[in-house]
């Protein structure tokens, strides 16, 4: 027996582009989303669909709301939740001063489990139903985030970090041991329910050539696991890579050389790249995570979305917490708009939605199962609530179109504007404030 959800409904069918192509989105002012056994049956106009349904179909109404697909976060570090908003450094100093000490605390499996649970709750409170997640070097960090996601039936990809040089001794593994641990985690978690494994070298600066090579071999052995790393985030980092790998044409070429540039490889940041890198990334099927709050907060640079999309690279938004400053994809899209505006590019609201939903699903090679409401996709969705704050209520009341309404929610909204988050058709209970 299907279940129905009635509200305004908006989803993307493809990338609306900088010109906001109207054929790329579908909008139902009074819409109905039909769900059965956790999958989308159909989305369409309420009056048409209701007349076809059995009279006793359960209909949940969200008057004044807006149903959109669950948000997808293409790059985030759950062990950095407790150092979000730490003052004053750029990438390499920030890692040493904040990130590495925070990650060292994950030697304690109980602490890892506690943070994983809070992290997943926070994601759901922000309407995020899928993410590609960094753990720490400790294998039990991956266990912790997978257990937390599995308990809520979330589609989530994660991995244990590989890191065997240029970092504190307590956070180092070594090439062979890191691969043994990663292989065991792949066998344990990859493809279990909705979970997927990502081979996760932190970046080329903290892995020896031997470890990068072993990671590439593991990736070749498991073509359907993901690869997740950082690329060309910060100028000093890029210079350091050039010094360490003088024989390689570029930072991206380091990963390519070791077999880590391929389909299902997702690279966070991609700020300092040239056209030849972009062509190579597109040809090999690599994807980019656009992390605007992090790029601004750490002073890293500006992501060139039009150049990436012109090269036909898959792109989605990433929050990059804790270098990023919010787990909210609404806030992240707001900063993406400003990053593009600074470069004299547009980010129409429909394209912002695309980058947080279908585009992100494409970047993760998950668009066959999530990202919009086509029949048969998994029913992960969010109900946006304009009345979440008095200011959004006032601003949205003055909006004439759905684009204007959603743009205001992106610019002004946050977790207060998430009325409900559904994972495979099931409403998740989320605590959004200490007294909730």
What does the alpha-carbon distance between residue 146 and residue 295 come to, in Å, rounded to a whole number?
A: 27
Report DSSP state, residue 23.
G
Q: 319 to 338, contacts with Zn ion by CB under 5 A?
A: 320
Q: How far is the CB of 417 from Zn ion (least distance, A)?
A: 26
**Unique residue bearing structure tokens 């997927």:** 196
Q: Does 103 bind Zn ion (CB under 5 A)?
A: no
Locate 190 and state its tokens: 């990859």
Q: Judged by CB under 5 A, which stretch of 91-99, 313-321, 333-341, 372-380 contacts Zn ion?
A: 313-321
Residue nearer to Zn ion on the CB measure, 273 or 396: 273
Residue nearer to Zn ion on the CB measure, 237 or 304: 237
Q: How far is the CB of 170 from Zn ion (least distance, A)?
A: 20
Distances (CA, A) of 266 to 99, 107, 201, 382: 21, 26, 11, 25
Neighbours of 400 (CB within 10 A): 7
Residue nearest Zn ion, CB atom distance: 320
In 3D, which of 119, 19, 128 has the Cα closest to residue 421?
Answer: 128
Strand, coil or helix: what is 162?
strand
What does the alpha-carbon distance between residue 251 and residue 406 come to, in Å, rounded to a whole number?
A: 37
Q: Judged by CB under 5 A, which stretch of 8-16, 215-223, 261-269, 356-364 contacts Zn ion?
A: 261-269
What does the alpha-carbon distance between residue 345 and residue 82 come to, in Å, rounded to a whole number?
A: 34
What does the alpha-carbon distance between residue 142 and residue 65 come to, in Å, rounded to a whole number?
A: 36
Residue nearer to Zn ion on the CB measure, 268 or 352: 268
Instruction: Please say whether the beta carbons of 371 and 357 come within 8 A.
Output: yes
What does the alpha-carbon distance between residue 152 and residue 301 come to, in Å, rounded to a whole number?
A: 36
Residue nearer to Zn ion on the CB measure, 67 or 163: 163
Q: How far is the CB of 330 from Zn ion (least distance, A)?
A: 20
Q: How far is the CB of 319 from Zn ion (least distance, A)?
A: 9
Residue nearer to Zn ion on the CB measure, 40 or 268: 268
In degrees rounded to 5, what are phi and psi of residue 159?
A: -165, 160
Q: How far is the CB of 99 from Zn ion (least distance, A)?
A: 9
- Total residues at the site for Zn ion (CB under 5 A)? 2
Q: Judged by CB under 5 A, which stretch of 244-252, 260-268, 346-354, 355-363 contacts Zn ion?
A: 260-268
In 3D, which of 91, 159, 162 has the Cα closest to residue 324?
Answer: 91
Q: How far is the CB of 288 from Zn ion (least distance, A)?
A: 13
What does the alpha-carbon distance between residue 391 and residue 13 come to, in Å, rounded to a whole number?
A: 31
Instruction: Please say whether the beta carbons of 118 and 145 come within 8 A.
Output: no
Q: How far is the CB of 268 from Zn ion (least distance, A)?
A: 5
Residue nearer to Zn ion on the CB measure, 319 or 334: 319
Q: How far is the CB of 160 from Zn ion (least distance, A)?
A: 15
Locate 351 and state its tokens: 């394209």
Q: How far is the CB of 136 from Zn ion (least distance, A)?
A: 13
Instruction: Please say whether the beta carbons of 316 and 355 come within 8 A.
Output: yes
Residue nearer to Zn ion on the CB measure, 320 or 415: 320
Q: 266 to 295, contacts with Zn ion by CB under 5 A?
A: 268
Residue nearer to Zn ion on the CB measure, 10 or 291: 291
In 3D, which of 27, 92, 91 has the Cα closest to residue 353?
Answer: 27
Residue nearer to Zn ion on the CB measure, 294 or 372: 294
Q: How far is the CB of 280 from Zn ion (least distance, A)?
A: 22
Q: Judged by CB under 5 A, which stretch of 151-159, 199-207, 265-273, 306-314 contacts Zn ion?
A: 265-273
Residue nearer to Zn ion on the CB measure, 161 or 330: 161
Q: Judged by CB under 5 A, which stretch of 214-222, 312-320, 346-354, 407-415 contacts Zn ion?
A: 312-320
Handedness of CA 329, 332, 333, 334 (dihedral sign): positive
Q: 201 to 230, contacts with Zn ion by CB under 5 A?
A: none
What does the alpha-carbon distance between residue 313 and residue 308 come to, in Å, rounded to a whole number?
A: 5
User: Residue numbers of the site for Zn ion (CB under 5 A)?
Assistant: 268, 320
């Amino acid at each position: 027996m299907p279940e129905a959800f009635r509200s305004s409904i908006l989803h993307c069918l493809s990338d609306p582009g900088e010109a906001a192509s109207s054929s790329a989105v579908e909008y139902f002012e009074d819409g109905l989303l039909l769900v059965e056994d956790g999958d989308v049956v159909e989305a369409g106009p309420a009056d048409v669909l209701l007349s076809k349904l059995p009279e006793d179909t359960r209909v949940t109404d969200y008057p004044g709301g807006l149903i959109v697909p669950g948000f997808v976060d293409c790059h985030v570090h759950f062990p950095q939740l407790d150092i979000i908003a730490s003052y004053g450094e750029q990438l390499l100093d920030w890692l040493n001063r904040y990130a590495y000490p925070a990650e060292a605390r994950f030697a304690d499996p109980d602490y890892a489990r506690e943070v994983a649970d809070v992290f997943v709750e926070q994601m759901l409170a922000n309407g995020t139903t899928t993410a590609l997640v960094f753990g720490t070097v400790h294998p039990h960090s991956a266990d912790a985030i997978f257990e937390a996601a599995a308990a809520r039936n979330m589609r989530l990809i994660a991995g244990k970090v590989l890191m065997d040089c240029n970092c504190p001794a307590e956070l180092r593994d070594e090439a062979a041991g890191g691969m043994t641990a990663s292989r065991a985690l792949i066998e344990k978690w990859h493809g279990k329910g909705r979970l997927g494994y990502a081979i996760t070298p932190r970046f080329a600066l903290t892995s020896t050539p031997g470890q990068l090579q072993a990671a590439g071999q593991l990736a070749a052995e498991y073509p359907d696991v993901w690869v997740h790393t950082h690329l060309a985030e910060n100028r000093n980092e890029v210079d350091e890579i050039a010094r360490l790998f003088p024989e390689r044409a570029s930072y991206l070429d380091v990963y390519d050389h070791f077999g880590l540039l391929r389909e299902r490889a997702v690279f966070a940041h991609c700020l300092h790249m040239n056209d030849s890198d972009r062509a190579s990334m597109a040809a090999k099927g690599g994807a980019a995570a656009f992390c605007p709050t992090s790029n601004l907060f750490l002073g890293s640079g500006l992501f060139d979305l039009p150049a990436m999309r012109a090269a036909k690279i898959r792109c989605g938004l990433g929050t990059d917490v804790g270098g990023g400053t919010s787990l909210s994809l609404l806030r992240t899209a707001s900063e993406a708009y400003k990053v593009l505006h600074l470069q004299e590019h547009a980010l129409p609201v429909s394209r912002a939605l695309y980058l947080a939903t279908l585009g992100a699903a494409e970047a993760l090679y998950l668009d066959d199962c999530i990202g919009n409401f086509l029949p048969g996709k998994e029913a992960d969705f969010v109900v946006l609530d304009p009345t979440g704050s008095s200011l959004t209520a006032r601003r949205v009341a003055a909006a004439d179109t759905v684009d204007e309404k959603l743009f205001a929610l992106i610019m002004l909204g946050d977790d207060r504007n998430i009325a409900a988050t559904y994972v495979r058709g099931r409403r998740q209970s989320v605590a959004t404030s200490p007294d909730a």
